[in-house]
Structure 1
Amino acid sequence: MGGDRNMKQKPDSDEEQKIKYLIYRKLDRAQALVNEIKELMKKINLVPSNEQ
């Protein structure tokens, strides 16, 4: 019962959790893209070898 009341009290904390989840998912995706881009750049020598 107390849990139900708590959830109704703070609807925005639930929304906050969803937003944080989306942010972290997008950050993970962005990091994956950065790594992918670095790999591609290495193939055509756009990245100095010391930047690994």
Structure 2
Amino acid sequence: MLTGSVAGARAADVAGRLRPSESAVRNRLPAAIGRTGTRNRAEAVREARQRGWL
């Protein structure tokens, strides 16, 4: 579960939970935000949950 992302977790925190490198998480955040049509990661997580992606 990515509840920390909603609270503004750092890329290092997310990487620690999911096991990709911190840079991989940081590099993919813009794509996730773009695909959801949101303005920031908190909105992206919220939208992804509404769509059933998380």
Q: What TM-score do you get using the length of structure 1 for normalisation?
A: 0.32
**More RCO (CA 8 Å, sep 6+):** 2
Tell which structure's C-alpha radius of gyration is larger: 1
Q: What TM-score do you get using the length of structure 2 for normalisation?
A: 0.31
